Chain A
Amino acid sequence: MANASKSYDVLALGGGNAALCAAISARLEGASVLILESAPEFWRGGNTRHTRNMRLAHDAATATLTGPYPEEEMWDDLLRVTGGQTDEPLARMMIRQSKDMLEWISAQGVRFQPALGGTLSLSRTNAFFLGGGKAMLNALYRRALRLGVEVRYESEVIGLDIDAGRFGSATFRSGAGTDVVNAKALVAAAGGFEGNFDWMAEYWGPAAHNFLCRGTKWNQGSMLKMLLGQGVQQTGDPTQMHAVAIDARAPKYDGGIITRLDCVVFGIVVNQNAQRFYDEGEDLWPKRYAIWGRLIAGEPGQIAYIIYDEKSANAFMPSLYPAITGNSIAELAQKLALDPAALTGTVDAFNAAVRPGTFDVAALDDCRTEGLSPPKSHWARRLDQPPYYAYPVRPGITFTYLGVRVDHDARMLMADGTPSANMFAAGEIMAGNVLGKGYTAGIGMTIGAVFGRIAGREAARHARD
């Protein structure tokens, strides 16, 4: 067990992919390393425990990746999803280094599998963890512990001693009381603040309390707040977060992947006044997947209802909760506590506006409405085959964009632009540097692993010199 009065070369704050890659990387450079993870052991690992894959550039196919996925293409993908809100040199460096990552992280014991059903579209670009993100975490923890990294769970950092950009010590609270740990270098890899609804409410008002957090409640953003409060330069829009539509019946935290719903295209989406509010047929997955969380956040009560009929009952991935059913639109409305007349009116108006076409969910087909506002531009089919189905949905927050600014060595930059002497960052806490907005599957794990590896190495070198 770690001795609190002891001093370490490297202190890693956090417990997910980024923190573990940093800790392992630092240890491989010969540094003594302590990890402070605020969560209990079962809940360790932040949002990594809910992930499934990592996006990696590669020049040729591997055992688990069909290829190739050239650097340039990955850069194009990143540029597209961020709309240019990315630090190009830093992002290109990350993409270049992602090419070694499969080999490096496999050497740490992480196992991969070929992409299987439902995710085939990612089999070229993303390496899938065998058993998912928690299996990946388990492997990294095993490796770290075997290398001699010390880990303390349920240890929440409550103070950082930083003087003119130089980290000295951290004060943390655990079951044993309050302790101070000294380290020659710090790696902050403690995630964002998606678990902190009070913080989100600063930007979103009381509506934020109707959001659900898809990931861990341990991502309170306290490290982020402390670092920004002590002169580290900020990156990313503090008001922004990645939000998708998830089942409104999901738990407040940790619903993870299984509460997601991607059936918007099969029907209509109404708010609690039983009115449509956005074009359900605007775009293909994954773009449409990522916008609906934000859209629902803007509706009264932060709730909406996806309504479809028997034609689409088995058309999409099953999810955790069963759909709510009704033999008529009015009956369905009653079960949803919506105004039956209003919902019937909305559905009738929609049905009347649907033009004939050839339905094809894999393409931007010609099934659309005419003279309806908002329109449904694709995949519009009449809702006329009972039983009718509904899913109540709310915004599910995946991650936040606010972060600390870093350079090529994953070293934090202070507000005046000078590099910190001994503070590094990796993972979601600095993701905003390369992912200023948007999302593309598996990019968070790339950011965590690549910058974690760099941060650990640089922290260890700093400690040694």
Chain B
Amino acid sequence: MHATEALEEAGRLMIVCNSCRYCEGLCAVFPAMEQRRFFNDGDLNYLANLCHSCGACFTDCQFAPPHEFAVNVPQALARTRAESYAAYAWPKFMAPVFHENGWAVAFAAVASVAGFIGLMGFSIAPRDIFATWTEPGAFYRIFPHAVLAGVFGLAFAYAIVALIMGARNFWRDIGEPMATLAQPVSIWQAMEDAAQLRYLDGGGDDCYTGRKTDRRRLFHHLTFYGFALCFAATCVATLYHYLLGREAPYPIYDLPVVLGALGGVGLTIGPVGLWFGRWKADPVLRDEKSSGMDRAFLAMLFLTGVSGLALLGLRGTPWMNLLLTIHLGLVFALFVTMPYGKMVHGLYRFLALVRYARESRELKVQE
């Protein structure tokens, strides 16, 4: 007996799949499944988070619906995965945020942007809203650096704590010993697998569609590395500020701007590609209930990227102050919703890959 209907179905399917095993060459899920004979909820949550939702096992399955065995692993694992996000949420009372996640994230974004606009109203005179400021430190005429650093530092720290607590819940649920996290070889393998999205391709050059039209890997790379570059830009700028005493905005050729601009392009194009990729993918593979969460996350990333690029492009114009405010509001919302939205998929999938690296290495040693 499993805790929820989604887990029940995932458990049923793993019994079916484990007696077939034709898909074992496609990804990590099936080899991980083969190491078990019985599946408790933790095992199923592990497998669900290991699944990259490429869909290859569905098209390859002779028992897919309309066959009476009705095997649809991508959908069953997507549902299980979505439920697991809520189950691992910290603090516990935040779990319901995952249920109407699209609305919750949208609300957070609007509230945050409104809040920053409100703050701007306090800090500068109404006539200065459309003033053109370009000198170093111009950003901090609107929001003092110490205030920004304090607010964002707190938000970021909170997000990190909440994510770590969620990760801890996941790790405990799947029953993996803490010692695995101290294995550099497992961590490194998982980083490699995650960095290339190794398991998004259904075991080869073709994915679910069977044609080379599935660009999810490309768009995910644009999104992920775009995000990483933007984060790097922020870190470099922080170092500039504290170590070199150089204040933003920086010249166009300077490292934080270059990193941020490149990252912003990725964050703009990537989510658009993933958004439209969703419509192309067969709905039979998806968990419809979590589409709000997926779209909210993509929208947040896209808006963050676009607003950042707009700020860069228009920073010498009267629009700068407003754009900066909006951008900061979006980034703040992105930070605080990180533990309560689709962002957690990266964390849990990475951890699942760490465990898989450990398991598959030990299996090889046995052989």
A contact residues vs B (CB 8 Å cutoff): 42, 49-50, 52, 111, 113-114, 116-118, 128-135, 138-139, 142, 251, 254, 256-259, 314, 317-320
Binding-face segment, B13-21, B163-171, B176-184, B346-354: B13-21
Contact present for B66 and A130 (CB under 8 Å): no
Contact present for A117 and B21 (CB under 8 Å): yes
Contact among A113, A114, A251, A254 with B62 in the assembled complex (CB-CB below 8 Å): A254
Interface residues on B, range: 20 to 34
Binding-face segment, B23-31, B87-95, B240-248, B316-324: B23-31
Cβ of A194 to closest chain B Cβ, rounded Å: 16
Cβ of A138 to closest chain B Cβ, rounded Å: 6
Contact present for A258 and B16 (CB under 8 Å): yes
Contact among B15, B25, B63, B211 with A130 in the assembled complex (CB-CB below 8 Å): B25
Contact present for A135 and B37 (CB under 8 Å): no
Cα of A133 to Cα of B204 in the assembled complex, Å: 16
Cβ of A260 to closest chain B Cβ, rounded Å: 8
Question: Which residues of B sit under 8 angstroms from A116, Cβ to Cβ?
Answer: 21, 24-25, 31
Cα of A328 to Cα of B66 in the assembled complex, Å: 40
With A52-B22, A318-B15 known to touch, is A111 a contact of B204 (CB < 8 Å)? yes
B contact residues vs A (CB 8 Å cutoff): 15-16, 18-26, 31, 34, 37, 56-57, 59-64, 66-69, 202-204, 206, 210-211
Question: Which residues of A sit under 8 angstroms from B31, Cβ to Cβ?
Answer: 116-117
Which of B19, B66, B203 has most chain A Cβ within 10 Å? B19
Contact present for A133 and B62 (CB under 8 Å): yes
13 A-B residue contacts at CB 8 Å? Answer: A111-B204, A114-B25, A116-B25, A118-B34, A131-B22, A132-B20, A132-B23, A142-B210, A254-B63, A257-B20, A257-B22, A258-B63, A320-B69
Cα of A52 to Cα of B61 in the assembled complex, Å: 12
Which of B20, B22, B23 has most chain A Cβ within 10 Å? B22
Cα of A196 to Cα of B203 in the assembled complex, Å: 37
Cβ of A107 to closest chain B Cβ, rounded Å: 14
Contact among B18, B20, B204, B211 with A256 in the assembled complex (CB-CB below 8 Å): B20
Cα of A131 to Cα of B24 in the assembled complex, Å: 7
Question: Which residues of B sit under 8 angstroms from A42, Cβ to Cβ?
Answer: 64, 66-67
Contact present for B25 and A128 (CB under 8 Å): yes
Cα of A254 to Cα of B61 in the assembled complex, Å: 12
Cβ of A198 to closest chain B Cβ, rounded Å: 22
Contact present for B19 and A319 (CB under 8 Å): yes
Question: Which residues of A sit under 8 angstroms from B19, Cβ to Cβ?
Answer: 257-259, 317-320
Contact present for B26 and A131 (CB under 8 Å): yes
Cβ of A114 to closest chain B Cβ, rounded Å: 8
Question: Which residues of B sit under 8 angstroms from A132, Cβ to Cβ?
Answer: 20, 22-23, 60, 62
Question: Which residues of A sit under 8 angstroms from B203, Cβ to Cβ?
Answer: 111, 113, 130-131
Knowing that A49-B62, A113-B203, A258-B19 are A-B contacts, what are 9 other residue pairs whose CB atoms are under 8 Å apart, sorted by A's residue number?
A111-B206, A128-B25, A130-B25, A130-B26, A130-B203, A135-B60, A254-B67, A258-B16, A320-B19
Contact present for A131 and B62 (CB under 8 Å): no
Question: Which residues of A sit under 8 angstroms from B24, Cβ to Cβ?
Answer: 113, 116-117
With A131-B202, A257-B20, A318-B15 known to touch, is A50 a contact of B25 (CB < 8 Å)? no
Contact present for B15 and A320 (CB under 8 Å): yes
Which of A131, A134, A254 has most chain B Cβ within 10 Å? A131
Can you name the residue of chain B whose Cβ is closest to the Cβ of A146? B211
Name the 10 nearest CB pairs between A and B, nearest first.
A132-B22, A113-B25, A131-B60, A135-B60, A258-B19, A49-B62, A319-B19, A134-B62, A130-B25, A258-B20
Question: Which residues of A sit under 8 angstroms from B206, Cβ to Cβ?
Answer: 111
Question: Which residues of A sit under 8 angstroms from B21, Cβ to Cβ?
Answer: 116-118
Cβ of A128 to closest chain B Cβ, rounded Å: 7
Contact present for A134 and B60 (CB under 8 Å): yes
Question: Which residues of B sit under 8 angstroms from A256, Cβ to Cβ?
Answer: 20, 62-63
Cα of A132 to Cα of B211 in the assembled complex, Å: 18
Cβ of A445 to closest chain B Cβ, rounded Å: 14
Contact among B15, B60, B67 with A138 in the assembled complex (CB-CB below 8 Å): B60
Cα of A134 to Cα of B59 in the assembled complex, Å: 8
Contact among A131, A139, A314 with B37 in the assembled complex (CB-CB below 8 Å): A314
Question: Which residues of A sit under 8 angstroms from B64, Cβ to Cβ?
Answer: 42
Question: Which residues of B sit under 8 angstroms from A133, Cβ to Cβ?
Answer: 22, 62
Contact among B62, B66, B68 with A50 in the assembled complex (CB-CB below 8 Å): B62
Question: Which residues of A sit under 8 angstroms from B16, Cβ to Cβ?
Answer: 258, 320
Cα of A62 to Cα of B16 in the assembled complex, Å: 31
Cα of A142 to Cα of B206 in the assembled complex, Å: 12
With A128-B25, A131-B26 known to touch, is A117 a contact of B210 (CB < 8 Å)? no
Cβ of B68 to closest chain A Cβ, rounded Å: 6
Cα of A130 to Cα of B62 in the assembled complex, Å: 13
Cα of A444 to Cα of B20 in the assembled complex, Å: 19
Question: Which residues of B sit under 8 angstroms from A142, Cβ to Cβ?
Answer: 210-211
Which of B62, B203, B206 has most chain A Cβ within 10 Å? B62
Question: Which residues of B sit under 8 angstroms from A111, Cβ to Cβ?
Answer: 203-204, 206
Contact present for A138 and B68 (CB under 8 Å): no
Question: Which residues of B sit under 8 angstroms from A258, Cβ to Cβ?
Answer: 16, 19-20, 63, 69
Can you name the residue of chain A whose Cβ is closest to the Cβ of B24? A116
Can you name the residue of chain A whose Cβ is closest to the Cβ of B35? A117
Contact among A113, A138, A254, A257 with B59 in the assembled complex (CB-CB below 8 Å): A138
Can you name the residue of chain B whose Cβ is closest to the Cβ of A216? B62
With A42-B66, A111-B204, A258-B16 known to touch, is A131 a contact of B210 (CB < 8 Å)? no
Cα of A319 to Cα of B17 in the assembled complex, Å: 9
Can you name the residue of chain B whose Cβ is closest to the Cβ of A132? B22
Can you name the residue of chain B whose Cβ is closest to the Cβ of A247? B19
Contact present for A318 and B62 (CB under 8 Å): no
Question: Which residues of B sit under 8 angstroms from A251, Cβ to Cβ?
Answer: 68
Can you name the residue of chain A whose Cβ is closest to the Cβ of B38? A318
Contact among B18, B23, B67 with A131 in the assembled complex (CB-CB below 8 Å): B23
Cα of A142 to Cα of B59 in the assembled complex, Å: 13
Question: Which residues of B sit under 8 angstroms from A114, Cβ to Cβ?
Answer: 25
Contact present for A131 and B25 (CB under 8 Å): yes
Cα of A118 to Cα of B31 in the assembled complex, Å: 12
Cα of A117 to Cα of B18 in the assembled complex, Å: 11
Question: Which residues of B sit under 8 angstroms from A320, Cβ to Cβ?
Answer: 15-16, 19, 69
Cα of A131 to Cα of B211 in the assembled complex, Å: 16
Contact present for A318 and B18 (CB under 8 Å): yes
Cβ of A361 to closest chain B Cβ, rounded Å: 17
Cβ of B170 to closest chain A Cβ, rounded Å: 26
Cα of A345 to Cα of B21 in the assembled complex, Å: 39
